[in-house]
Structures are given as structure tokens and as C-alpha cells.
Copies of this chain bind each other. A is one copy, B any other.
Amino acid sequence: MLLSEDQVRKELADTNGWELSGQGITRSFQFKDFLEAINFVNKVAEIAEQHDHHPDIAISYNKVQLSVFTHSEGGLTEKDFLLAREINSILT
């Protein structure tokens, strides 16, 4: 179910580092080098498969940008924020 603007605002406040971008949410990550970036992407991939929800991923050497969006609903749902927070937990 699509979240209301109010709900999105609350969810964003609980989802460190992510911001609105287009119809979805996005966060950029920076690592020591390319291999650390790829290592992170593999952890993201594992979480994405568990959630059956897959972020768009852009890798540029040591930088990774993730974008999350519920295609089937055409906007943001609870699934997006659950995924984003679980991805954040990789870094802690």
C-alpha cells in the first residue's frame, strides 16, 4: 500500500542517510576502494533476495548509489523503508 506524504516523512526520519529522489528513496555510500564497494553490493544483494525487493544499484569505483521504489505500486511503501533500514544495518 502506498504511504501518505506524512507516513513517508516519518519513515524517512527513521531511515538514516536516505532521501527522496524522483518517486523513490536513494542513498550514496563511499568505501575505501572498488573491492569494498563490490563486497557491500553483495551484502545488499543477499538482503534484496531475502526481501524479494531489489534496489537499483550504481557502482562507480568506490562509490555505490542505491535507489529503492515499489514498482508494482508506483511509489513508496513500507517495503522500501524496511529494505533501506536493513541495508543500513550492514554498515553498523
Contacts and interface: CB of A to CB of B under 8 A. Distances in A.
A61 interface: yes
A31 B32 CA distance: 29
Interface stretch (A11-19, A37-45, A81-89): A37-45
Interface in A3-54: 34-35, 38, 41-42, 45, 48-49, 54
A35 B60 contact: no
Contact of A56 (B41, B45, B48, B59): B59
Interface residues of A, number: 15
Given A57-B58, A59-B56, A38 B41 contact: yes
Given A54-B61, A58-B56, A61-B54, A42 B38 contact: yes
Interface of A: 34-35, 38, 41-42, 45, 48-49, 54, 56-61
